[in-house]
Structure 1
Amino acid sequence: MTRARNPLWRTLVELRGNPRACVWTEPLWGLSMALVLPYASVFMLALGLHDAQIGFLATIAMLSQVGFGLAGGIITDRLGRRTTTALFDVIAWVIPCLLWAFAQNFWFFLAASLVNGALQVTQNSWDCLMVEDAERRQITRIYSLVKVAADCSALFAPLAAVLVAQLGLEPAVRILYVNAAIVMTVKIVWLYLWSHETRQGRVRMAATRGQSVWRLFAGYRGVLGLLLRSRGSLLALAVAALTAAVTLVNGTFWQVVASQHLHVPDALLPFFPMVRSVLSVTFFFTLIPLLTTAVDLKRAALWGFGVHLAGQVTLVAIAAPDGAATGATYAFLGLCLLLDSFGAGMLFMLSESLVALHVDEAERSRVMAIQRTCIMLAAAPFGWISGWLSGIDRTYPFVLTAGLLVLGFVLVAVRWVPTHAEEHPDTPRADLTD
């Protein structure tokens, strides 16, 4: 497939306005958070935290996101998509990065987890900023490009590996967190200057001006009715919740099982997300576009759940070496990365796209706030549960994720609700309620 004909390349070049600003600034994530995330859990272990505490922090972070997420729709409507994104990106990322950089014990990480929950506000406003003025037919490709940008960011992982090898784990990770705070600040300012308020954002700002916060919260009752009456939105909610739970467990404990169970050296840990990301980008420009046609997202969802399940089962099946990781260990980890890069990439794109495709456009920010709140509530217990399981056996969290992926596969197979884009692929914009 040539670059000119590839739909992702074409979308990337054709993007204008807010979608372009959001997608084109996203690679800065790679010079900030993506450098340090592979070390987050092992950094906590190095400072004396144990598995159960790490899992508990993951659950606390999710619960914090629940609170912020519920308020996110109101904040986004009152302040506007653009201002909310800038303000809460500072709260959700810059401040926690500084707390992590100077952390000394569990309480620093707890404070950072609580503040980091504000990411659900900016996730809501950023999604609205990115897709509200976009053409409906571009939405799945826009989210694919976001995932590609995040994956490309892992190409900078060798920088972190060199730093850890030269300075040691703890001082290197502290430096990486300070760097993340600085680069995220640059990203926030750049996006704010390059973007503008959306049409629907201006409508919602005018509609909510002068209304009390309590009255706006009361309006969630009617919005909840919209969600409950939409079978498509409920399906999207279930898919997103299962994806969030699996992502939470993998993001927290994949590096732990590689380091502590399979004895992979710390300096090599960043190379695993780098390889996963390279594979994911390759899939997004080759195989995934063939499976995410406008008329068959169900097939794509089944492939996503099935392949990701195979990756998790493979990880559980790897035998722990007696000493250092062996060639066979790395070979099986490579197979896990191959399967996970496709499955997780597909599920990320679909979980975000299905929510956007089924949502009522007039109430996008509040409906998405409720959906994200429900997703966080559903996923939150799995942080603590997986921490408890990891304390028993480092592979048990991935037995749990395998079960969740089986559930997702069955749900899609028997309860699928087509989007209107699937039913009427030639219609550029349609009523999004079912």
Structure 2
Amino acid sequence: MNRARNPLWRTFLELRGNPRACVWTEPLWGLSMALVLPYASVFMLALGLRDAQIGFLATVAMLSQVAFGLAGGIITDRFGRRATTAWFDVIAWVIPCLVWAFAQNFWFFLVASLVNGALQVTQNSWDCLLVEDAERSKITRIYSLVKVAADCSALFAPLAAVLVAQLGLEPAVRILYVNAAVVMMVKIVWLYVWSRETRQGRIRMDATRGHTAWRLVAGYRGALGLLFRSRGSSLALAVAALTAAVLLVNGTFWQVVVSERLHVPYEFLPFFPMVRSVLSVVFFFTLIPLLTTAVDLKRATLWGFGAHLGGQIVLVAIPAADGTATVSTYVFLGVCLLLDSFGAGMLAMLAEALVALHVDEGERSRVMALQRTFIMLAAAPFGWISGWLSGIDRTYPFVLTSVLLVVGLVLAATRWVPTRQDADPALVADPA
């Protein structure tokens, strides 16, 4: 690969200002939350929680995100993108990690899930910090780089596997949660020092200074009109909601079906996201740029839904293991990871990029806050539903995700609305 000619690598080297600060600090996710997330659901099972309770917690987390998401636009405009990101990262990640680290029963996880919902505030402010001062033609690639940075995080997964193998599941996961709290704090401080308030952020801080909270809430009415008058924003909202629901189910129950139905040992669990992430990084530097630098994001969206659907079907089709997982089980899981790494990676990037490309720039924080609220409301029931389905048969949650992905395919094929990037080739960076 010629680094000078690869468009994604070139964008990475040319990043400046806030986009560079956001992208370059993102790999610290790998030394914090990425180490412990593969064990989150099986850790709950080890402490006596049932599948239905785990699904209920996923729904509670989503509903908490809805509440915080509604306030996210107001908070981001009032206090600025930079300060909001710092304070609410502490609330959303550092505090819940410490609660998870000392969890004893369902109620600890419930409290942590409620507080963790604050991530929607910082997601809104962080997205604004990331793209508001960026060149519009580079937004798709910037979100690709964010996804690559998150995927590179999984390369640290063997550290968690070694810890689990040496100490056992429960004590190892508690240590990993404490580590996550510490490393996330380092990431928060580093991003705050390295970033600056955006131009639009300063404008919104000035515009909202002295206004009451109720007056700022009333401003959502205009943002709501902007959101639903735009067919492009509505389409982006639907794609993002379907993607969020599928990612919620996979993030909650993928490791459960692999460990409990296919009998893959606990210490192997972190290697699956690591392999998925390595493959995703390869795709982001090779195949995905070919699909997203052309003047047609519709094709990329269809490929994303189709590939992810294939991965879910393969997972459902893997025969249940009687005892220890067999060689054929790992072969099937490899095929599943190959398809998921491309499909889920593409959809995760496009779900963010399409929203950013369709949104009204002057009302970005409020419109994006409303979009995230509707996305979380749409995705929330699928946590409880998938938990109930998993209690019946652990493959059923992935039958559900397959149906959602078929809906996404049909929607993208029949209701596509071009972004400005689709419509105007001048807004697309030269891929050479």
Q: Same fold (TM over 0.5)?
A: yes
Q: Which residue is equivalent to 1:315?
A: 315
> Which amino acid counterpart does residue 3 of structure 1 have in structure 2?
R
Q: Which residue is equivalent to 1:156?
A: 156
Q: Which residue is equivalent to 2:129?
A: 129
Normalised by the length of structure 1, the TM-score is 0.98
Runs of 4+ in 1 over 4 A off after TM superposition: none
Q: Which residue is equivalent to 2:25?
A: 25
Shift of 1:359: 0.2
Shift of 1:3: 1.1
Work out the CA distance in 1 between the residues paired with 2:33 and 2:420: 36
Q: Which residue is equivalent to 1:9?
A: 9
Contact kept in structure 1, 2:136 and 2:427, CA below 8 Å: no
Work out the CA distance in 2 between the residues paired with 1:138 and 1:428: 8
Work out the CA distance in 2 between the residues paired with 1:335 and 1:113: 32
Equivalences for 1:7-406 in 2 at 5 Å? 7-406=7-406
Q: What is the CA deviation profile of residues 250-305 of structure 1, one whole-angstrom value per residue up to 9, with x for unaligned ones?
A: 00000000000000000000000000000000000001001112411000000000
Shift of 1:427: 4.1
The unaligned stretches of length 5 or more in structure 2 are none
Q: What is the CA deviation profile of residues 189-234 of structure 1, one whole-angstrom value per residue up to 9, with x for unaligned ones?
A: 0000000000000000000000000010011011100011100000
Contact kept in structure 1, 2:138 and 2:428, CA below 8 Å: no
Work out the CA distance in 1 between the residues paired with 2:163 and 2:88: 30
> Which amino acid counterpart does residue 182 of structure 2 have in structure 1?
I
Contact kept in structure 2, 1:306 and 1:343, CA below 8 Å: yes
Q: What is the CA deviation profile of residues 59-94 of structure 1, one whole-angstrom value per residue up to 9, with x for unaligned ones?
A: 000000000000000000000000000000000000
Change (3 A) 1:427 1:259: closer
Deviates more, 1:183-192 or 1:3-12: 3-12
Work out the CA distance in 2 between the residues paired with 1:326 and 1:365: 49
2:2 is paired with a residue whose SS is coil
Q: What is the CA deviation profile of residues 366-394 of structure 1, one whole-angstrom value per residue up to 9, with x for unaligned ones?
A: 00000000000000000000000000000
Contact kept in structure 2, 1:62 and 1:376, CA below 8 Å: yes
Shift of 1:321: 1.5
Q: What is the CA deviation profile of residues 157-213 of structure 1, one whole-angstrom value per residue up to 9, with x for unaligned ones?
A: 000000000000000000000000000000000000000000000000000000000
> Which amino acid counterpart does residue 170 of structure 1 have in structure 2?
E
1:426 is paired with a residue whose SS is helix
Normalised by the length of structure 2, the TM-score is 0.99
Contact kept in structure 1, 2:276 and 2:338, CA below 8 Å: yes
Shift of 1:428: 7.4
> Which amino acid counterpart does residue 12 of structure 1 have in structure 2?
F
Work out the CA distance in 1 between the residues paired with 2:126 and 2:331: 38
Contact kept in structure 2, 1:294 and 1:421, CA below 8 Å: no
> Which amino acid counterpart does residue 3 of structure 2 have in structure 1?
R
Change (3 A) 1:428 1:407: closer
2:394 is paired with a residue whose SS is coil
Shift of 1:422: 1.1
Contact kept in structure 2, 1:135 and 1:428, CA below 8 Å: no
Work out the CA distance in 1 between the residues paired with 2:253 and 2:113: 16
Work out the CA distance in 1 between the residues paired with 2:209 and 2:135: 28
Work out the CA distance in 1 between the residues paired with 2:242 and 2:225: 22
Q: What is the CA deviation profile of residues 77-125 of structure 1, one whole-angstrom value per residue up to 9, with x for unaligned ones?
A: 0000000000000000000000000000000000000000000000000
> Which amino acid counterpart does residue 300 of structure 1 have in structure 2?
A
| Identical positions, percent | 84
Work out the CA distance in 1 between the residues paired with 2:118 and 2:336: 32
Contact kept in structure 2, 1:313 and 1:402, CA below 8 Å: yes
Deviates more, 1:367-376 or 1:293-302: 293-302
Work out the CA distance in 1 between the residues paired with 2:291 and 2:194: 33
> Which amino acid counterpart does residue 314 of structure 2 have in structure 1?
T
Work out the CA distance in 2 between the residues paired with 1:223 and 1:270: 41
Corresponding pairs, count = 429
The unaligned stretches of length 5 or more in structure 1 are 430-434
Work out the CA distance in 1 between the residues paired with 2:191 and 2:294: 30
2:425 is paired with a residue whose SS is coil
2:196 is paired with a residue whose SS is coil
Work out the CA distance in 2 between the residues paired with 1:421 and 1:278: 28
Work out the CA distance in 2 between the residues paired with 1:427 and 1:265: 49
Shift of 1:36: 0.1
Q: Which residue is equivalent to 1:432?
A: none
Shift of 1:4: 1.1
